[in-house]
Amino acid sequence: MRKKLPNWNWVLIVFFTLGTGQIFAQLNLNEKEYFETQGLNVLVFSNEYNGFFFDEKNAGIELIHHGMRSSTGGAVRLQNTPEQWDLVPSLVERTVDRASNTIEVTTRYEQLDFTSKIIVKAEGKGVNISVHLDKPLPENLQGKAGFNLEFLPAAYFEKTYLVNGNPGIFPLYPSGNTRIKPISEKIPQFAGHSTLDNRGEEEFIEPQPLASGNTIILAPEDPYHHVKITSETEISLFDGRSLAQNGWFVTRSILPANKTGKVLEWHLEANTVSNWTREPNIGFSQIGYHPKQKKVAIIELDKNDSPSQSASLYQVTPEGNTIEKANNKIDVWGEHFRYNYVQFDFSDITETGIYYIKYGDQITNTFPISDQVYKTAWHPTLDVFFPVQMDHMKVNEAYRTWHGRPFMDDALQAPLDQEHFDGYSMGSSTDTKFEPYEHIPGLDVGGWFDAGDYDIQTGTHCLTITDLVASWEEFGLERDHTYINQENRYVDIHRPDGKIDILQQIEHGTLNLVAQINSIGHPVRGIIVPNLHQYHHLGDASTETDNLPYNPDLEPFESDGVSSGVLDDRWVFSERSPYLDYRTAGALAAASRALKDYNPSLSEECLVLAKKLWQENENMPSQDSSSGYFARFLKLSEMNASMQLYVTTKEAKYAKAFESKIWEAMDESLDRTIDIALHAAPHMDGKFNKKLKTYVQKYVDEIDQLEKDNPYGVPMFRRPGWGGNHGIIDFAIANYRAHKLYPDLVDKEHVFKGLHYIFGRHPHSNLSFVSGVGTKTKKVAYGSNRADFSFIAGGIVPGILLMNPDFPENKENWPFFWGENEYIVDIGASYIFLVNATNELLNEK
């Protein structure tokens, strides 16, 4: 066994050892302001609740237990098992006192005028958690407000618990008791899940405890997950999955009425295994390597681990034997966040074959070296993922039907002054001729489900169409492996139909954009269901509504066969936006080129509508677009529209409009805008390209800085709350375009490292982030089938999410973290482009 050096600072304060090799060790506050000992971290509001998506299961008091974030949500909450949309407390103040080993936080429910304080202090074998109130609990929160701490179900499946000594088994599937309560007994604010009874009246489901007592012990048989909680106040254990599939196991104590000061106290102990160190994570490309590529594995090490001096590459022979082909010294990169990194370079191995890496006692799975590794890596995305995401179509695959024809009742005008969920809202005007709740005809065509839910987001559609067109124009992808019949609204996966698939997908997305403009007059923010109990629907998309247009003249649940009195139709959020107008104009201009021979009439209509949108916005009064988030994206969409229109029409006015903004935009934010300039460059004159080269030289400095910033050399964490994979793919695409124009400035390896990251050379694990592509890939993801702990082949997940202050995470055993695991259609389109770009560079003569 490779020797693992102990952290002597912690060894000195170990004070309790069990005969099984388990220990309880003193926690101390570190310089990053969380409690730490070897094998355990306790975070106290290092991450705050999100007021936009409410409870994302990544805030409050959290445990990172032997390298896994297995507990979250430690806070005063208002439900037994809070759902995503239940009210969350905001953080008012957080005070860290390292001298007393204490963190104190004040949180508040502004809607309910309720403030509480939580004090967490290192104590004996764990932490002491106490809740303090300056004023007695408000009457409307009595019996409702309590302290919760949630535990990841996947960490406790097939394990047991003890409550006051009475044993139980954590259920693999939710099986606890529930009861129905009238909606009047729920917190009277925007809070969580409700359902309808057989009279159409609201009620809600309340899970009941699996067990209750003063001592709860989780997984006593498992030293890696063993946690003990005691309190003088009764603690109940709940299964949140009875209410929502993404629920966790919840430990909860109700706050007492008519008390102030310290009203609740818990003692929490979490076992740690003696001298535990996390196993090295050997990051490499799960699809393998082209012989011409650099081949560098990046090995992520626990900070208490001692690096080996070398690593080896073995080849597997046709007979099943192994041959050591390389034994090379590792290079130390250094520290990044909580881990140390070393590198193993085996670039000199170019022989076609099957290989694996051995580092210390660890052996990876096998992977190929071949000039064919990228040839088919994009096929599942186009063949399976995109068809599954197709709205308004029945989608079949061999013996399986993914979904029936959904949303044939599209769509109703959204009501005014509406703050909806998932970022949708309506102001004081519809910007249409339609009245609130009036049916808008013609929208039941085309489009993709945006992500793991079933809405249509116009901005995402535009990005998707633009990237699919780029792949078609750049690489001529003539693959035909899907049957798509728009007239019959039927799709059959793995069944050729004599038509080019990527053009059929461009057509499908474009049809919905065209329908929006023809039916409404302009593109819209999106189309989404009206109710939360529909929005979190998991199952066949065709059952989310009754597929019959709403008829206000009918009674609820009444139908005349062609319409119904059920107000379940999706809503159109129709406020007009220059950003969406320009974004859609650019997408339609691009689609017009791609569809010119495939669907000439639609191609012509796309260009007419693109010019119309451009002209209408060109004649609008100018808006203040000098600064801010919205202004940046407005400028980007306007530049993209002018560039796409110029490429399509060659009309000088569009080139002039593009050049009038691009240089200033690159001065403001080079990394976000250079790809548009590089995309345009082949269509511009020599003067433009000469000037662009000076910006590419500056961009190279940013690439070089990334190599210093992290061991992977890619922009990993640029969007809070969301993994960085899409930005990494876009970064690699920009590098491809820069290399094609200026190969003396940008090396092609800067293209390849983006895909290396996506395919497994990344923090936390070495899984390919593309489901079904590579030897070991994401098999549990946030797709429409996430409740089955399954995947959609070819879907790409967001990737690594950084939990503040230093914990990179991507859970493979729990699909419900959308910021880590949710498939989005536009990243699929970008990925198709990047794989083909990489394949082209590696196989060019």
Domain boundary among 217, 246, 273: 273
Q: Roughly what angle, to the nearest 10 degrees, separates helices 652-668 and 629-649?
A: 150
- Whose CA is closest to 728, among 701, 747, 708, 710? 710
Among 164-168, 186-190, 218-222, 697-701, the range scoring the smallest mean pLDDT is: 186-190
- Checking if the pLDDT of 715 tops 60, the result is yes
Tell the residue number behind the tokens 């929208």, with chain if given: 443
| pLDDT tens string 726-741 | 999 999 999 999 999 9
Q: How many CA atoms lie within 13 A of 642 on its CB side?
A: 21
288 and 264 share a domain?
Answer: no
Domain that holds residue 165: 8-273
In a domain? residue 343: yes
Q: Is the pLDDT of residue 623 over 80?
A: no
Say whether pLDDT at 74 is over 60: yes
**What does DSSP say about strands 227-239 and 166-169: parallel, antiparallel, or unpaired?**
unpaired
Where is the domain boundary, 369, 386, 419?
A: 369
One domain for residues 244 and 363 = no
Domain CATH code at residue 183: 2.70.98
Q: How far apart are CA 249 and CA 231, in angstroms?
A: 18
Q: Classify residue 53: in a domain, yes or no.
A: yes
Flag whether 171 is in a domain. yes
Q: What is the mean pLDDT of residues 768-779?
A: 98
Q: State the pLDDT confidence band at 25, using cuts at 50, 70 and 90.
A: low
More confident residue, 497 or 844: 497
What is the rounded average pLDDT of the residues 575-588?
A: 96
Are residues 327 and 357 located together in one domain of the fold?
yes
Residue 8 has pLDDT above 70, yes or no: no
Mean pLDDT of 18-45: 81
Same domain membership, residue 245 and residue 305? no
Last residue of a domain, one of 273, 304, 338: 273
Same domain? 311 vs 336: yes
Give 518-559 pLDDT, tens digit per residue.
999 999 999 999 998 899 899 999 999 999 999 999 998 899
Query: How far is CA 722 from its chain centroid?
Result: 5
**How many residues are present in the chain?**
845
Q: Cα-atom radius of gyration of the chain, to the nearest Å?
A: 28
Stretch (H or E) spanning 344? strand 339-345
Q: Is residue 16 very low, low, confident or very high in pLDDT (cuts 50, 70, 90)?
A: very low
**DSSP 8-class letter at 777:** B
Q: Tell me whether residue 376 is in a domain.
A: no
Same domain, 173 and 289: no
Burial class of residue 349 (count of CB atoms within 10 Å of its CB; 0-12, 13-18, 19+): middle
CATH number assigned to the domain comprising residue 299: 2.60.40.10
299 shares a domain with 269: no
Is residue 50 very low, low, confident or very high in pLDDT (cuts 50, 70, 90)? confident
pTM listed for this prediction: 0.94
In total, how many domains does the chain have? Answer: 2
261 and 300 in a single domain? The answer is no
Q: Tell whether 83 and 13 lie within a shared domain.
A: yes
CB count within 10 Å of CB 788 equals 13
List C-alpha distances in Å: 104 to 116, 118, 127, 231, 440: 11, 6, 13, 19, 53
Span 454-497, pLDDT tens digits: 999 999 999 999 999 999 999 999 999 999 999 999 999 999 99
**3-state DSSP assignment of residue 473:** helix
With 0-12 CB in 10 A as exposed, 13-18 as middle and 19+ as buried, what is 127?
Answer: buried
Which of 275, 274, 282 has its CA nearest to residue 339?
282
Domain membership of residue 554 (yes or no) is no
Q: Are 71 and 150 in contact (CB under 8 A)?
A: yes
Structure tokens at 450: 């945006």
User: How deeply is 707 buried, as exposed, middle or buried, from its count of CB atoms within 10 A (0-12, 13-18, 19+)?
Assistant: middle
Give the whole-number percent of the chain exceeding pLDDT 70: 93
pLDDT tens-digit map of 291-339:
999 999 999 999 999 999 999 999 999 999 999 999 999 999 999 999 9
In the structure, what pLDDT confidence band is assigned to residue 612 with cuts at 50, 70 and 90? very high
Supply 154's token pair.
Answer: 């996947």
In the chain, the amino acid numbered 67 is G
- What is the reported pLDDT for 628? 56
Q: Are residues 183 and 220 in the same domain?
A: yes
Check pLDDT > 50 for residue 370: yes
Looking at the structure, do residues 31 and 76 belong to the same domain, yes or no?
A: yes
Residue 298 falls inside a structural domain: yes
Q: Tokens 């109990």 appear where?
A: 533
Mean pLDDT of 361-382: 97
Q: Examine residue 115 and state whether it is found in any structural domain, yes or no.
A: yes
Q: Which residue would you say has higher pLDDT here, 17 or 629?
A: 629
Tell me, yes or no, whether 334 and 259 share the same domain.
no
Mean of all residue pLDDT scores within the chain: 92
Give the CA distances from residue 146 to residues 29, 42, 220, 430, in Å, rounded to whole numbers and listed in that order: 26, 20, 25, 42
Asked if residue 67 belongs to a domain, the reply is yes
Is 70 exceeded by the pLDDT of residue 3? no
